[in-house]
Structure 1
Amino acid sequence: MESIWTRCLPASVNRQLLPLKAHFFFYLAGQACVFPYLAVIGRQNGINAATIAIIFSLTPLTAVIIKPVCGFVIDRTQNATAVIVFLQVVLVMFHGIVFFSSSIKAHTDSSFTGYLNCNSSQLVISNSSSASCVVSGARESSPLSCNLTVFEDRRSVGVNVTGASDTLVNLNGVSNICGKDSVNGNVANETYAVLRCPCDTTLYNGNFWIYTVSVVVSWASSATLYTVTDAAVCELLGDNVNAFGRQRLWGTISWGIVSPLIGIMIDEASNSSYTDYKPGFYVFAVVMVLDIFLLLRMPRLRTADLSLNLFKDVATLFCNAEIVLFTAWTFIVGALIGVLWSFSTWYLEDLHASKLMIGLSNTVMSLCVEVPLFFVSNTILERIGYFFSYSAAFLTFSIKFIGYSYLINPWYGLIVDIPGGAIFPLAYSAMTVFAKRAATPGTTASMMCILGSTLEGLGTAGVTKPLCARIKMSKISLCVC
């Protein structure tokens, strides 16, 4: 029986798809609250860029296993709703662990030499390659306690590090040593000194593995949820599967709306020395509860047919050269998307972009570009086909990577994000519709999960992430090569 508000809708509106549009809206709204911040939380906890790259390279590989398994379960049980709800509960649990995870640093004394300026209470570090320890320590919520020694007479005093960059450390308490020695004429305005601070020496402790495992599980669950939902939507669309983009765009709308709001909330909850990302998780948890309630109230999602020989039917599909070639292209797309997903927020933070600006970057891509392209994806696929849609995505990849590589003012990145926003709708619509068209009866969910694991598993975990972690982020365009 229809509700009052659905009866007021035009007859052309497919009421059967309204709950799925709402699911896309809620789920992507929740993801906008947490997904862009997974890597930067690891950095704030003391994990360096190379290690983050390794974590996020291996993480998507779990989706290679989980996605086909979930696809098999759905094709055999004909119950996609149960799988989606289970994965959402897992998401809330493990995202919570990530956002409340502690620093991974184990402390020992490390030394940093430089020139002490008594007037400004600053130390200019000469061995700047080691200054990352002080910088990461100064980002904690409380000042970092260190010991300062002047070379001239070996006089030492305890000081607090109140802020730091790669080469400059702000100190509190140097007046004790500067005042005494200035009277004796022993210390000039600038003098050589050594700063000893407690710094991290190992990453492999309990907190590190708690963060890593939680990121792995949450990423794999999130990626699988996308594919499982897409399979259910394509089954409901039937022969009109090219209209998939018009359903998916509601998630894009919510992503674009929520992203800047979460950025503002994080900025308000943070201070100059510590960024508090927890508001993002709080909103995420509330939205996920609403989405689970919606899924439990709507008709059960399922796939239409049951294959009697599922593994044999899927293996037969990959004897088709077109499917094999499309899968290879999907791998390349996933590798390039993986760089953007994992390092865009990190890169913009390095350019001193506010969380509001990072959120607006997602808004520009989502509302200004992705929504229109998802809406006309049916026409695009009918006119140019799946492979040319991928080719257009590769072109927009090049524009975004090259534009970001020359970026100095992060606000100009919003201009680069306009063509960059075309990447996801062009590639994702083509992949989803191709999977539906190519699948034989009873293998739709499995086929989508295989292509999805190629995009967000094998592709996203490609060699581009470790490569990008070892090159200067301002030259991120090298990843296109």
Structure 2
Amino acid sequence: MLCGSKINMDLLFMKMNYFFAWGAYAPVVPFFTTIGKQRGYSAFAMGITLTGMQIPSVVVRPVIGIVTDRYQCRKSIFLIGEVLLAIAVLGLIFIPGATAPESIADEIVFETSLYWVFFFLLFFFYLGSTMRSLMEDTICVSLLGDNVHEYGHQVVWGAIGFGISSMVSGVVVDWFSKGRDHNDFRPGFVITIVCVAFDIYVSAKIKVKQVEKTENFNGDMKRVLTDFRVIVFIIATISFGFFYTFIQYFLFWYFEDITNLYHPEYEPYIKTIQGFSQTIQCFLGEVPFFFISSYIIKKLGHMNVFSLGFVFFAIRFGLYSIIKNPVVALSVELLHGITFALPYSAGVAYTAKLAPVGAEGMMQGFYGMAMKGIGIPMGNFVGGYIIKNLGIIDAFRIFSIGSLTVCIVVSITNLIVNRMYKSENNVVQTS
């Protein structure tokens, strides 16, 4: 090797894992709501659907973290999650491709057997992704050890994989949908299956090392979970998940609505536009900010990074509410690095810093539970209801005001708590 350096093969495989895993998500996750929309399901029906499939992770994430910490089985759960995800996508490929010219009444939707097949396929997809993503981050921070601040340098490869896969899947879906009165999402699902197959091969090569719990484990956990700074962090994480869901699940709904209302000439290319929005998010948003996340987190602090994210959520939602051209709206995706990559990296790194020895999985489970088990389901339910009743444009105006309000509340609370702990520490040192 040049310069006498040695490649850490486990971290290399970890980077490859992120690349293929996130690449597998790209043709499916952002399209969830538009797949449902094509079937005639309203925004509220899809909000309930996404909420229902995500709520179990409130229990699943911490339980998996506890079980894998105790029984030293992180890699097994990791691989089982990937297999479950692949089975769900195979089901999506073969489920009848129902379409509806207009929205179907919600009460009718929930009475059809086809809806429930669709729901449970999404449920098992999310369950598999929950199992593997929790173990993925836990294994990654364990491999990094004292260099956990370099987490962004690993996960950036996930952004690269997501960006490439989303663009390719958007193009192939438009290509295979030519001449049809609906979009054929199956080519994208095939891309997901291929990425999962490569990911399973790569993940199997990662050597997982787990540390035994310390004797003071229970006391350490109680101290962490009752720390007011941690409580503020959890609240910020829930809020982060709440607002992020509008980007992850309803952005494509926004692109389709403004295209149908104001620029129908773009309809034949809508999946390409949607896929390209993800590519911009990843390559011009996430990639640079994942690389510099370590520097920014050190300079600003973990919680200040969250506050910065909420400010830019407000700006981002505000821009969506005034832009009516889907091509122009693509420029807003440049903000994705500040509204996702930075706060997500800060959350994983801060959780790893707080975790007692041997409880890394449990703590990452609590972080994931707050963001993906509470925040995102709440966002789906509330977002779906508001979008159905007010429309996507007015919804984004409300989300913008809400994000700015949360930023102010979290920033002030964090400042008060930090000053309180600083005063307590000064008293202890002088006594």
Whether TM exceeds 0.5 here: the answer is yes
Are residue 471 (structure 1) and residue 387 (structure 2) matched? no
Cα distance change of structure 1 residues 10 and 454 upon mapping to structure 2, 3 Å threshold = farther
For 2:289, the aligned partner's letter is L
The equivalent residue for 1:118 is none
Which has more radius of gyration? Answer: 1
Q: 1:56-455 alignment to 2 at 5 Å?
A: 56-102=50-96, 134-135=101-102, 201-271=108-178, 272-299=180-207, 301-306=208-213, 313-352=220-259, 354-455=270-371
Does the residue aligned with 1:214 lie in a helix, a strand or coil? helix
1:87, distance to aligned residue in structure 2 (A): 0.4
Structure 1, unaligned stretches of length 5 or more?
A: 1-6, 106-132, 138-199
For 1:363, the aligned partner's letter is T
1:288, distance to aligned residue in structure 2 (A): 0.6
Contact 1:338-1:456 within 8 A present in 2 as well: no
1:13, distance to aligned residue in structure 2 (A): 4.6
What RMSD, in angstroms, separates the aligned Cα atoms of the two structures?
Answer: 2.3
Structure 2, unaligned stretches of length 5 or more?
A: 260-265, 403-431
The equivalent residue for 1:167 is none
Once the two structures are superposed, residues 262-314 of structure 1 have per-residue CA deviations (whole angstroms, 9 ceiling, x without a partner) of: 10000011134110000111111111111111222332x24323356866653
* Alpha-carbon separation, structure 1, partners of 2:215 and 2:129: 29
Contact 2:171-2:272 within 8 A present in 1 as well: yes
1:135, distance to aligned residue in structure 2 (A): 3.6
Contact 1:365-1:418 within 8 A present in 2 as well: yes
For 2:361, the aligned partner's letter is A
Once the two structures are superposed, residues 361-412 of structure 1 have per-residue CA deviations (whole angstroms, 9 ceiling, x without a partner) of: 1111111121111111111111100011001111111111111111211011
Does the residue aligned with 1:460 lie in a helix, a strand or coil? helix
Contact 1:47-1:203 within 8 A present in 2 as well: no
Contact 2:217-2:357 within 8 A present in 1 as well: no
Contact 1:63-1:224 within 8 A present in 2 as well: no
Once the two structures are superposed, residues 184-205 of structure 1 have per-residue CA deviations (whole angstroms, 9 ceiling, x without a partner) of: xxxxxxxxxxxxxxxx955412
Cα distance change of structure 1 residues 65 and 302 upon mapping to structure 2, 3 Å threshold = farther
* Alpha-carbon separation, structure 1, partners of 2:224 and 2:258: 46
For 1:448, the aligned partner's letter is Q
* Alpha-carbon separation, structure 1, partners of 2:7 and 2:249: 37
1:57, distance to aligned residue in structure 2 (A): 2.2
Contact 1:71-1:449 within 8 A present in 2 as well: yes
Percent identity of paired positions between Structure 1 and Structure 2: 26
* Alpha-carbon separation, structure 2, partners of 1:86 and 1:426: 29
Contact 2:85-2:127 within 8 A present in 1 as well: no
Does the residue aligned with 1:351 lie in a helix, a strand or coil? helix
Cα distance change of structure 1 residues 25 and 73 upon mapping to structure 2, 3 Å threshold = same
* Alpha-carbon separation, structure 2, partners of 1:85 and 1:446: 18
Q: TM-score, normalised by structure 1?
A: 0.76
Which is worse superposed, 465-474 or 70-79? 465-474
Question: Of Structure 1 and Structure 2, which has the larger fraction of its residues in strand?
Answer: 1
**Residue correspondences, number:** 386
Of 442, 458, 463, the residue aligned with 2:374 is 458
Which is worse superposed, 25-34 or 465-474? 465-474
1:100, distance to aligned residue in structure 2 (A): 3.4
* Alpha-carbon separation, structure 2, partners of 1:223 and 1:345: 22
Once the two structures are superposed, residues 81-121 of structure 1 have per-residue CA deviations (whole angstroms, 9 ceiling, x without a partner) of: 1111100111011123234333679xxxxxxxxxxxxxxxx
For 1:58, the aligned partner's letter is G
* Alpha-carbon separation, structure 2, partners of 1:318 and 1:214: 35
Once the two structures are superposed, residues 138-185 of structure 1 have per-residue CA deviations (whole angstroms, 9 ceiling, x without a partner) of: xxxxxxxxxxxxxxxxxxxxxxxxxxxxxxxxxxxxxxxxxxxxxxxx
For 1:416, the aligned partner's letter is V
1:227, distance to aligned residue in structure 2 (A): 2.3
1:43, distance to aligned residue in structure 2 (A): 1.8
1:15, distance to aligned residue in structure 2 (A): 3.5
1:420, distance to aligned residue in structure 2 (A): 3.2
Contact 1:62-1:457 within 8 A present in 2 as well: yes
Does the residue aligned with 1:59 lie in a helix, a strand or coil? helix
* Alpha-carbon separation, structure 2, partners of 1:261 and 1:62: 32
Question: Of Structure 1 and Structure 2, which has the larger fraction of its residues in helix?
Answer: 2
Contact 2:29-2:249 within 8 A present in 1 as well: no
1:40, distance to aligned residue in structure 2 (A): 1.4
Give the structure, 1 or 2, with the largest relative contact order (CA under 8 Å, sep 6 or more): 2
Contact 1:80-1:302 within 8 A present in 2 as well: no
* Alpha-carbon separation, structure 1, partners of 2:388 and 2:190: 30
Which is worse superposed, 322-331 or 50-59? 50-59
